[in-house]
Chain A
């Protein structure tokens, strides 16, 4: 698919990657731009990744797009693209959902190129984005075996969060073998939503699954859970992983082998 001309051009770039669906990148941006303003896109041979904390350092976004998920991926040496997400969103608005998207970065690291190509290949738009030097903190996320892992439809997750969000600002998530319960105790009153593991597995996307090591009962800020819900379009299911005294992990997978978008939320403590 790569034309000769493009190949020649590509040699000048340290990093070049193409995705067939621009919509994926667009959705990812939508999912994180409210939480993070600037972020470094780290490009390495393994793929494209991003880690960023929100300004109050309560939550952490970790996104990984594996190299094999791209139509074309070439990285001669690791580069880090400091991007203002609002600017990137503006550029991505210019891409059609079905357009293919090519991302390039040269050696200097002061700009990134975006090329959008329509499916019919009759429309080609190129954009250049100025990069910034972002001094962000990188945190090492330890591999953890979570006490409780709940899988549920992402639409359900979004609904619960928005419903409970009107009641208060703190949600108590209790996971037991039988159910996962979201409780709110707010100024105007109380509310709770309880989900039971589905017995019938008709539609795999509507299944609620609970795998439990030990029961967990923690409280979190609903505000952040609502931010995470913006990633619902990325995936049909969402996985909540909880451990006592450890941040909640909310994971949206982009399909097999493609990558994931993970949110971590520090718990509140009594």
Chain B
């Protein structure tokens, strides 16, 4: 704002006068900066902008002016001068940065909130956990697992690069993987940083899902015969064996119920697994055998389920249309869609590398997959599996029908699992990935897409990572993983004695705590990790789907938070916290809790601060302010360009006695009397007289403009490295524009020889310049001078600003109380009492026919600031003809080079020390 450092320079000639000095004066008030000030400063304790802060601020300031019987004219900023654009664009970029910062902090806050909630939950769970820990004898192993998970997470977090490199090693080029990976990455950031606006609709979406679920349950009871084995109470014994799955029966089921049953089947399978694994815990061979068995069985399950699902899908369009049409859905996966479209022509050919397939091809693929399922015998698979768990599996094809994607085509989603018939490990993974996505895609329709989606990516990362790092020894890990997983399950079943899936969702609904969700995601990841080893694709698909479903069904929660869930998961430390909590001692929990609590406070503070810089001024606000001014009877004018220039013009032609502005440009535009800090809640106002600046500092308007060229202002960048002191010295040596050019020439000259001697003979007419050259020859290296310096246009802009020269005298009117009451009621919600309380004293002062003057009016106050820099002082003495000794610290001043003889210098030196002590006192004495 204004010329950099100019206020500092002119402060010594400023006078601190009481507010009464401005009483009864006619003043031009530059309001261009007011709005920014209000928006920045008027905040409540939470950092929220006070409602109609701009109006309140204007009202208060006007009241102050009216109270002192000031006759103000308000000047608004008009168009921006060309020269100022650069400054403005700088400011704008700053604002953008501010916005970004704000968003980041918001994210952090939500994260922190999540951590806190999670901790709370953990705390609440503590007793149960204790119980649990006695049952689960594998605490050590879970610790191990934690460490492992952390490592994996870290790696996957860093980047996907290592993964893809590893993939390349295995199968060669995987450009699409990388690409889509980055897509996902991008999407994660997008969705995490997503607008809060979405959350509302998303919540709606999940609510609707909730309803859907209820409906679905209703249907469950209706179609009980078709699933007579189903019972929500004790499904473990009544869920049909996987081999008994009847596709038709499934097809007739409502999809929600279908999913539920599938999840139950899966959970039961898992439980059986665990029991088996525990038996052979210590025998690696048996263990891996069991794993293979388990995997095969699960893949069979999945295949069956998929078959059933396909059947159901073909009949009912998989019954997902309802969810699919959910209005709360949001997809941000456009880039992936693109790649899908690209690959649409030859999906089967690209199959090995491209995870994205067009839905249209799915129908026959499903068929293929189904056929294939029948063909592969368990033994065969087993053999292959033992050779290389990654390469054995021929991918079964499965999942959603083409109609599904077609139905949803208008919604830009084509999540379709693809069948991949290669023995390539990566492809396998990719197909898993696809599957997951397909199932998730379905979920997305009802739930907030990004949340689930990011989950899928994470899973994927972990998975891929697993595949690379684990390899054969992964058997050990997987056993650990499994145990962990089971312990989790146990956790859940401890919580409610019902079946797992049910209990989870029920607990969730009961608590309606989103952290539950998060908990489950961890579990899910667990699943994924272990699946990766021995259950691979098919299992995973179902599993993740079920988990997802749980989440989506049981989340009447804030979706924004679930967005961030993923980020949350990524945080290594947090992860440790999440996993270790089971075995964490109380104090440590408490510590963590406090830590997050503190963090939250800090973040909130930061948020409030960041927020204060992010609001912008609208035309509407300006219009509101104008109407308020009309009510208060204060005249205003819209300047054609800069408000301070207009103010200065009024001042020049004598329409006003002074200018009220914070912008030091006013002097350059020709203002004679400037009042500053008039609205600060202090007793004093700073008054600057151009006469004083000319007389005591030696800067007339012309020199001030030249000074601005050096210091930088709204119009020009100035010389980097030149401050007030240097600038004053430069102006002293080069007091005109032409001479400044000379200066620029000199400064731009490369002088290799630093010792270059400039004759410093006082007789020389160029003495001042030479002395300057001599003194600054080393300094100039640090100065960055722009090519355009000195810019004539800037000088012209200050000399001939575009102003309204229509010098009609304006008149203030008495504020209209009736209208003001009405206005305040509408804008601030004040009752008439409050308004009157505010305005009546003001009006009384306004109406008072005699106003009290102040002593300072008549008796001259002392200056409040003195020049501290000796160099500056000496330069000023050079410029100014009349130097007021009052501005300098008495007797500490260096003698001016010219004129003063050595004696005085020695004397000054001698007394300096003494005077320093007495400085204050002597100053006082002088007056009295």
Residues of A within 8 A of B (CB): 40, 42, 44, 49, 51, 53, 56-60, 77-80, 137-142, 170, 219, 221, 246-247, 264, 266-270
Tell whether, in the assembled complex, residue A42 and residue B924 are in contact, meaning their CB atoms are under 8 Å apart. Answer: yes
Which of B859-890 touch A at CB < 8 Å? 859-862
Min Cβ gap A98→B in Å is 30
Tell whether, in the assembled complex, residue A57 and residue B20 are in contact, meaning their CB atoms are under 8 Å apart. Answer: yes
Partner of B858, one of A170, A246, A270: A246
What is the CA–CA distance of A44 and B926 in the complex, to the nearest angstrom?
10
9 contacts between A and B (CB under 8 A): A42-B924, A49-B928, A51-B927, A51-B928, A60-B859, A79-B921, A246-B858, A266-B853, A269-B850
What is the CA–CA distance of A94 and B18 in the complex, to the nearest angstrom?
38
Residue in chain A with minimal CB distance to B862: A138
Tell whether, in the assembled complex, residue A268 and residue B927 are in contact, meaning their CB atoms are under 8 Å apart. Answer: no
What is the CA–CA distance of A170 and B853 in the complex, to the nearest angstrom?
13
Min Cβ gap A228→B in Å is 14
Partner of A78, one of B24, B856, B921: B921
What is the CA–CA distance of A170 and B927 in the complex, to the nearest angstrom?
32
What is the CA–CA distance of A142 and B861 in the complex, to the nearest angstrom?
12
Tell whether, in the assembled complex, residue B857 and residue A266 are in contact, meaning their CB atoms are under 8 Å apart. Answer: yes
Partner of A268, one of B683, B851, B922: B851
* Residue with the greatest number of chain A CB neighbours at <10 A, chosen from B854, B918, B926, B928: B928
Tell whether, in the assembled complex, residue A57 and residue B924 are in contact, meaning their CB atoms are under 8 Å apart. Answer: no
Tell whether, in the assembled complex, residue A53 and residue B853 are in contact, meaning their CB atoms are under 8 Å apart. Answer: no
Q: Does B903 contact A (CB under 8 A)?
A: no
Tell whether, in the assembled complex, residue B925 and residue A219 are in contact, meaning their CB atoms are under 8 Å apart. Answer: no
Tell whether, in the assembled complex, residue A80 and residue B924 are in contact, meaning their CB atoms are under 8 Å apart. Answer: yes
Partner of B855, one of A40, A247, A270: A247
Chain B residues whose CB sits within 8 angstroms of the CB of A58 once the complex forms: 852-855
What is the CA–CA distance of A56 and B20 in the complex, to the nearest angstrom?
10
Chain A residues whose CB sits within 8 angstroms of the CB of B926 once the complex forms: 138
Chain B residues whose CB sits within 8 angstroms of the CB of A77 once the complex forms: 918
Residue in chain B with minimal CB distance to A268: B850
What is the CA–CA distance of A268 and B853 in the complex, to the nearest angstrom?
5
Min Cβ gap B592→A in Å is 50
Min Cβ gap B901→A in Å is 28
Taken residue by residue from 11 to 26, chain B's Cβ proximity to chain A (1 for < 8 Å, 0 otherwise) reads as 0000000101000100
Q: Does B849 contact A (CB under 8 A)?
A: yes
What is the CA–CA distance of A31 and B925 in the complex, to the nearest angstrom?
23
Min Cβ gap B21→A in Å is 10
Min Cβ gap B852→A in Å is 5
Chain B residues whose CB sits within 8 angstroms of the CB of A80 once the complex forms: 920-921, 924-925
Tell whether, in the assembled complex, residue B859 and residue A264 are in contact, meaning their CB atoms are under 8 Å apart. Answer: yes
What is the CA–CA distance of A266 and B920 in the complex, to the nearest angstrom?
28
Residue in chain A with minimal CB distance to B856: A57
Secondary structure call for the B interface: mixed
Tell whether, in the assembled complex, residue B859 and residue A142 are in contact, meaning their CB atoms are under 8 Å apart. Answer: yes
Residue in chain B with minimal CB distance to A265: B855
Min Cβ gap A122→B in Å is 38
Chain A residues whose CB sits within 8 angstroms of the CB of B855 once the complex forms: 53, 57-60, 139, 247, 264, 266
Chain A residues whose CB sits within 8 angstroms of the CB of B683 once the complex forms: 57
Tell whether, in the assembled complex, residue A139 and residue B928 are in contact, meaning their CB atoms are under 8 Å apart. Answer: no
Min Cβ gap A78→B in Å is 5
Chain A residues whose CB sits within 8 angstroms of the CB of B854 once the complex forms: 56-58, 266
Chain A residues whose CB sits within 8 angstroms of the CB of B922 once the complex forms: 78
Tell whether, in the assembled complex, residue A139 and residue B852 are in contact, meaning their CB atoms are under 8 Å apart. Answer: no
Min Cβ gap B57→A in Å is 26
A to B contact number (C-beta, < 8 Å): 82
* Additional 16 contacts, C-beta under 8 A, given A57-B683, A268-B850, A269-B24: A42-B928, A78-B918, A78-B925, A80-B920, A80-B921, A137-B856, A138-B924, A138-B928, A139-B855, A139-B860, A139-B927, A140-B927, A221-B852, A266-B857, A267-B853, A268-B853
Partner of B925, one of A42, A59, A60, A269: A42
Min Cβ gap A171→B in Å is 11
What is the CA–CA distance of A138 and B855 in the complex, to the nearest angstrom?
11
What is the CA–CA distance of A267 and B853 in the complex, to the nearest angstrom?
6
Tell whether, in the assembled complex, residue A141 and residue B859 are in contact, meaning their CB atoms are under 8 Å apart. Answer: yes
Chain B residues whose CB sits within 8 angstroms of the CB of A247 once the complex forms: 855, 858-859
Min Cβ gap A57→B in Å is 5
The answer to whether residues A266 and B852 also contact, given A78-B921, A78-B922 and a CB cut-off of 8 A, is yes
Residue in chain A with minimal CB distance to B854: A57
Which of B597-627 touch A at CB < 8 Å? none
Tell whether, in the assembled complex, residue A139 and residue B861 are in contact, meaning their CB atoms are under 8 Å apart. Answer: yes
What is the CA–CA distance of A138 and B856 in the complex, to the nearest angstrom?
10
Which of B453-488 touch A at CB < 8 Å? none
Residue in chain B with minimal CB distance to A246: B858
Chain A residues whose CB sits within 8 angstroms of the CB of B861 once the complex forms: 137, 139
Residue in chain A with minimal CB distance to B920: A80
Which of B826-859 touch A at CB < 8 Å? 849-859
What are the 3 closest A-B residue pairs judged by CB atoms, nearest first? A138-B927, A139-B859, A268-B850
What is the CA–CA distance of A269 and B854 in the complex, to the nearest angstrom?
11
Min Cβ gap A226→B in Å is 15
Chain A residues whose CB sits within 8 angstroms of the CB of B925 once the complex forms: 42, 44, 78, 80
Min Cβ gap B724→A in Å is 25
The answer to whether residues A40 and B853 also contact, given A57-B20, A137-B862, A247-B858 and a CB cut-off of 8 A, is no
Residue in chain A with minimal CB distance to B848: A268
What is the CA–CA distance of A142 and B857 in the complex, to the nearest angstrom?
12
Chain A residues whose CB sits within 8 angstroms of the CB of B860 once the complex forms: 139-140
Min Cβ gap A248→B in Å is 11
Chain B residues whose CB sits within 8 angstroms of the CB of A170 once the complex forms: 850
What is the CA–CA distance of A270 and B857 in the complex, to the nearest angstrom?
16
Residue in chain A with minimal CB distance to B16: A137
What is the CA–CA distance of A137 and B928 in the complex, to the nearest angstrom?
11
Min Cβ gap B634→A in Å is 22
What is the CA–CA distance of A51 and B860 in the complex, to the nearest angstrom?
14
What is the CA–CA distance of A58 and B20 in the complex, to the nearest angstrom?
10
Chain A residues whose CB sits within 8 angstroms of the CB of B849 once the complex forms: 270
Chain B residues whose CB sits within 8 angstroms of the CB of A266 once the complex forms: 852-855, 857-858
Chain A residues whose CB sits within 8 angstroms of the CB of B862 once the complex forms: 137-139
What is the CA–CA distance of A267 and B855 in the complex, to the nearest angstrom?
9
Partner of B850, one of A53, A56, A142, A270: A270
Chain B residues whose CB sits within 8 angstroms of the CB of A219 once the complex forms: 850
Min Cβ gap A93→B in Å is 27
The answer to whether residues A268 and B924 also contact, given A138-B862, A139-B861, A140-B860 and a CB cut-off of 8 A, is no
Chain A residues whose CB sits within 8 angstroms of the CB of B928 once the complex forms: 42, 44, 49, 51, 138
Taken residue by residue from 908 to 926, chain B's Cβ proximity to chain A (1 for < 8 Å, 0 otherwise) reads as 0000000000101110111
Taken residue by residue from 637 to 653, chain B's Cβ proximity to chain A (1 for < 8 Å, 0 otherwise) reads as 00000000000000000
Tell whether, in the assembled complex, residue A57 and residue B859 are in contact, meaning their CB atoms are under 8 Å apart. Answer: no
* Residue with the greatest number of chain B CB neighbours at <10 A, chosen from A77, A137, A141: A137
Residue in chain B with minimal CB distance to A47: B928
Tell whether, in the assembled complex, residue B859 and residue A140 are in contact, meaning their CB atoms are under 8 Å apart. Answer: yes
Chain B residues whose CB sits within 8 angstroms of the CB of A221 once the complex forms: 852
What is the CA–CA distance of A49 and B860 in the complex, to the nearest angstrom?
19
Min Cβ gap A241→B in Å is 13
* Residue with the greatest number of chain B CB neighbours at <10 A, chosen from A53, A221, A246, A264: A53
Tell whether, in the assembled complex, residue B853 and residue A139 are in contact, meaning their CB atoms are under 8 Å apart. Answer: no
What is the CA–CA distance of A53 and B926 in the complex, to the nearest angstrom?
17
What is the CA–CA distance of A266 and B859 in the complex, to the nearest angstrom?
10
What is the CA–CA distance of A78 and B924 in the complex, to the nearest angstrom?
9
Chain B residues whose CB sits within 8 angstroms of the CB of A137 once the complex forms: 856, 861-862
Min Cβ gap A182→B in Å is 15
Residue in chain A with minimal CB distance to B858: A247
Chain B residues whose CB sits within 8 angstroms of the CB of A60 once the complex forms: 855, 859
Min Cβ gap A59→B in Å is 7
What is the CA–CA distance of A174 and B862 in the complex, to the nearest angstrom?
33
Min Cβ gap B853→A in Å is 4
Chain B residues whose CB sits within 8 angstroms of the CB of A40 once the complex forms: 924
Min Cβ gap A222→B in Å is 12
What is the CA–CA distance of A77 and B859 in the complex, to the nearest angstrom?
27
* Residue with the greatest number of chain B CB neighbours at <10 A, chosen from A139, A221, A267, A270: A139
Which of B1-41 touch A at CB < 8 Å? 18, 20, 24
